[in-house]
Structure 1
Amino acid sequence: MDQYSQMLAFIWSTECGSFSAAARAHEMSPSAISKLIARLEDRLRVRLFMRGSRVLTLTEEGAAYLRSAKAVVEAMSEADSLAEGLPSRVSGTLRIHTMTSFAKQQIVPWLPAFLDTYPGLDVEIQLGAQFVDQFEQGLDIAIHSGALPSSSRVAKRIGECEWLLCASPGYLEKHGTPQQPKDLMNHRCFNFSFASPWNTWAFVQDGLGVTTPVQPRGSFTQGELLRDMAKSGAGIVRLADFHIGQDIQDGSLVLLLDEYKADILEPIYLLYSDRKHLSPRIRVFIEFFQQKWIEHPWKVVRPVHPCGEVIRGAK
C-alpha cells in the first residue's frame, strides 16, 4: 500500500505542478507528499524531478515512470469499478454438500425454478450421509442434520426433523402391526450400515426411555435405499420426516409405534464459511431455500382429537 501511495503522490505532484499544490488538493501536508516522493526515488534509485526550480520538471526517467504509473492506477480503478457490481452479480458455480435424501426430497423439486431465477448460476450438488468439511476445497454450502463437529464455520439452524418408524401397508397386512417396541424383535427391520445415532431406535414406554436392540436384516449407506425397501414391502425402517413425510401423508408408508415415539427433534443446519463477506450465490440460495421452507413444510400432520389433542398411532 505504501508503494501505491508513493505512486499517487508522484502523479498528483505532476498534475498539480508542485508538492504543496498536490498536498492542498488532497488534504495532506507538503512534507508528507515530499517524503512519499523521496521514498519512491530511493526505492527506484533514480531522480524523477529536476531540483532547483519553482516548477516541477520531470527528468527523462520521471516521464517514463509517469506513463507506467498512470497505467497502473487506471487498471486498479477499473478493477474497483468492476468489483462494485459483484454484490449484485449472481453467477458462477454454487457447490452444495448434503444428504442424498434431503437433496432428492427437499431441493431437487424446486431446483429448476431456482436455476430459472438465476440463469448465470450453475449448481453442483455433492452427496453424503454425514457432514465432511470441504470448504477449503471450494464448497459453498453444506446442509446436514444432527450433531456437528466443532469448527469455525457458520452454522445456521434452519429447522428440525423427527425420526419416524414406518412400513408399507402391504408389509403390515402380511406380517402384522407391532403394538409395542419389543414386538420389533419379531419383524424384519433395516438400518444404516455405518455407526450413527440414527441406528438407535429409542422409545418412551410407561414414562421411561427404552431402546429396542433391533437386529437388521439388511443395512445401507443411504436412507433413500431404506425408503425403497420399506415402500416395496420388505420391512420396517426408521427415517427422518423430511424424507418420508409425503409418503406417510399419501398412505404409501404407515407410521408405527407413534404413541411410543420419543419427542426428540434433531436440528438441521445450513453451514457456510464466512459470515462477513457472504457471496451473492450463497445469499440468494439461502433466501430461496427459506422461502420454499415456508411454502412446503415437511412435517407429518397427525389427526387431531376434537378436544385438541393429537391422536398418536392413527393410520
Structure 2
Amino acid sequence: MIDHASEMAAFVRVVESNGFSAAAPALGLSPSAVSKLVTRLETRLGVRLLQRTTRALHLTEEGEAFYATARRIVGEIEALEDQISRHSSTPYGLLKVTTSLAFSTHQLAPVIGEFLQRYPQLQLELMPTDRVVDMIEEGVDVAIRIGRLADTSFIARKIGEDVRLVCASPSYLKHRRAPQRPEDLTRHACIVSREHSYLNRWLFRIDGEVREIEVGGRLAVTEGEAQMRLALQGLGIVRLTRLTVAAAVKSGELVSLLEEFRAEQPVPIHAVYPHRRHLAPKVTAFIDFILEKFSPPPWEI
C-alpha cells in the first residue's frame, strides 16, 4: 500500500529544510530514505517537483504548486495527530508485524493471545515470511529480524540471540549410536536442505580448528519446520535454529548433540521499527510486551 502522507511529509520537510540531510532528523529517517520517498512521489505524480544540484534544491513550477497545498495538508495531519495523542495513550488500531516463519511459529504464536487480551482495542496483522520486508513500502510497524542488521535508519531493540543446534530424537538414537565427534555424522542419516547446499556443510570446532563437515541423507527438505517434524519421527539428525527446537529439546522430544564442538557465533535477534518523533502507543505496547515475555529468551537452553 502506498503511503501518500509519508511521501508528502518528506517532500514538505525537504523544501523547508532545503535538503535531504537536513530534513532527515525531523522525519526520523536516513537521508537516503527521505530521498526515496520524494522520488517515489515524483514518479507517482509523473512530474519533477525538485531540481537537484550539488549545492541546493529548487522547486519546479509544478513543485511550487504542489508545495502550497501539501504544506497545509501536512500541517492538518500533524495537528490531528497531536490532538489524538493528547487525548489517548491507549494502544488501538491495526498493528502490522513481520518476522520469520520459525520465530512466528515457535515464539510469537504461543504468547500473542495474551497480547491481544491485554490490549482489546488492537488488531494484529502478523506477516510470517523469510524475505526481508520493506517496512516503509508495506506499512509494517515492527519487524523481528534475525541476523546482522544492514539498514541503520531504523530503531533496533535487541531481544536475544540465536544459534543452530544439531539434534536427533531419542527414537533415532535408540537404534543408532549418538555421534561422538562431528566426523561421525558422515555415517548417519541427516535431514538436509533441498535448496541451499551451504546449509548441508555444518561447522564445528575440531581440535582447535573450525572445519566443515558435509552431511548427507535420504531426506532433503526445503523448509526448517518440516525438517524438525521429520526429526521428531526419528528419521534423521537435523541442524536447526535454537528458537525452532528449544521447546522440543526441553521436553526431551529432541536431544542436542555435539555441543562441545559448536563453532558458530550466535546471531542477534532485534525488534526493528521506523524512527518516529511520536511513536504510536500500539508500537510501544508491542515492543514492551515482547521484551517482557522474552527476558530471558525462552529459546535459551
Give, as a single letter, the amino acid of the residue that structure 1 aligns with 2:255.
V
- The within-5 A match list for 1:228-239 is 228-239=229-240
Which residue matches 1:142? 143
Structure 1 residue 151: Cα displacement: 5.1
Q: In 1, Cα distance between the equivalents of 2:201 and 2:186?
A: 14
Q: In 2, Cα distance between the equivalents of 1:166 and 1:207?
A: 22
- Secondary structure of 2:143's counterpart equals strand
Which residue matches 2:225? 224
Which residue matches 2:155? 154
Which residue matches 1:127? 128
- Secondary structure of 1:189's counterpart equals coil
Which residue matches 2:299? 298
- Using a 3 Å threshold, how does the CA distance of structure 1 residues 180 and 80 change in structure 2: closer, same or farther? closer
CA distances 1:122-150 after superposition (whole Å, capped 9, x unpaired)? 11111123433243211111112123434
- Using a 3 Å threshold, how does the CA distance of structure 1 residues 150 and 126 change in structure 2: closer, same or farther? same
Q: 2:203·2:264 contact (CA, 8 Å) conserved in 1? A: no
Q: In 2, Cα distance between the equivalents of 1:114 and 1:169?
A: 35
Give, as a single letter, the amino acid of the residue that structure 2 aligns with 1:220.
V
Q: 1:129·1:221 contact (CA, 8 Å) conserved in 2? A: no
Structure 1 residue 182: Cα displacement: 1.4
- Using a 3 Å threshold, how does the CA distance of structure 1 residues 76 and 221 change in structure 2: closer, same or farther? closer
**Structure 2 gap segments, 5+ residues each:** 1-75
Q: 1:154·1:275 contact (CA, 8 Å) conserved in 2? A: no
- Using a 3 Å threshold, how does the CA distance of structure 1 residues 124 and 193 change in structure 2: closer, same or farther? farther
Q: In 2, Cα distance between the equivalents of 1:141 and 1:164?
A: 27
CA distances 1:144-190 after superposition (whole Å, capped 9, x unpaired)? 21234345233322210121100101111123211211111122212
Which residue matches 2:167? 166
- Using a 3 Å threshold, how does the CA distance of structure 1 residues 229 and 77 change in structure 2: closer, same or farther? closer
Q: In 2, Cα distance between the equivalents of 1:198 and 1:154?
A: 30
CA distances 1:200-227 after superposition (whole Å, capped 9, x unpaired)? 4110111111111123533434321111
Give, as a single letter, the amino acid of the residue that structure 2 aligns with 1:154.
I
- Using a 3 Å threshold, how does the CA distance of structure 1 residues 149 and 217 change in structure 2: closer, same or farther? farther
Give, as a single letter, the amino acid of the residue that structure 2 aligns with 1:129.
D
Which residue matches 2:188? 187
CA distances 1:287-308 after superposition (whole Å, capped 9, x unpaired)? 00011012663211xxxxxxxx
CA distances 1:209-263 after superposition (whole Å, capped 9, x unpaired)? 1111123533434321111111111111111222211211211101111121125
Aligned residue pairs, count:
226
Q: In 1, Cα distance between the equivalents of 2:77 and 2:147?
A: 46
**Root mean square deviation of aligned Cα:** 2.6
- The within-5 A match list for 1:3-152 is 79=80, 82-85=83-86, 88-150=89-151, 152=153
What TM-score comes out, normalization by structure 2 length? Answer: 0.67
- Using a 3 Å threshold, how does the CA distance of structure 1 residues 130 and 84 change in structure 2: closer, same or farther? closer
Give, as a single letter, the amino acid of the residue that structure 1 aligns with 2:285.
V
Give identity over the alignment, percent. Answer: 35
- Using a 3 Å threshold, how does the CA distance of structure 1 residues 188 and 276 change in structure 2: closer, same or farther? farther
- Using a 3 Å threshold, how does the CA distance of structure 1 residues 98 and 192 change in structure 2: closer, same or farther? farther
CA distances 1:263-307 after superposition (whole Å, capped 9, x unpaired)? 52111121112253322111100100011012663211xxxxxxx
Give, as a single letter, the amino acid of the residue that structure 2 aligns with 1:228.
R
Asked if residue 177 in structure 1 is aligned to residue 184 in structure 2, the reply is: no
CA distances 1:56-83 after superposition (whole Å, capped 9, x unpaired)? xxxxxxxxxxxxxxxxxxx999946742
**Structure 1 gap segments, 5+ residues each:** 1-74, 301-315
Which residue matches 1:62? none
Asked if residue 258 in structure 1 is aligned to residue 220 in structure 2, the reply is: no
> Max radius of gyration: which structure?
1
- Using a 3 Å threshold, how does the CA distance of structure 1 residues 104 and 194 change in structure 2: closer, same or farther? same
Which residue matches 2:59? none
- Using a 3 Å threshold, how does the CA distance of structure 1 residues 291 and 77 change in structure 2: closer, same or farther? closer
- Using a 3 Å threshold, how does the CA distance of structure 1 residues 293 and 82 change in structure 2: closer, same or farther? same
Q: 2:204·2:263 contact (CA, 8 Å) conserved in 1? A: yes
Q: In 2, Cα distance between the equivalents of 1:136 and 1:81?
A: 24
CA distances 1:70-99 after superposition (whole Å, capped 9, x unpaired)? xxxxx9999467423466131111111111
Greater relative contact order (Cα < 8 A, sep 6+): 2
Q: 2:168·2:238 contact (CA, 8 Å) conserved in 1? A: yes
Structure 1 residue 198: Cα displacement: 5.1
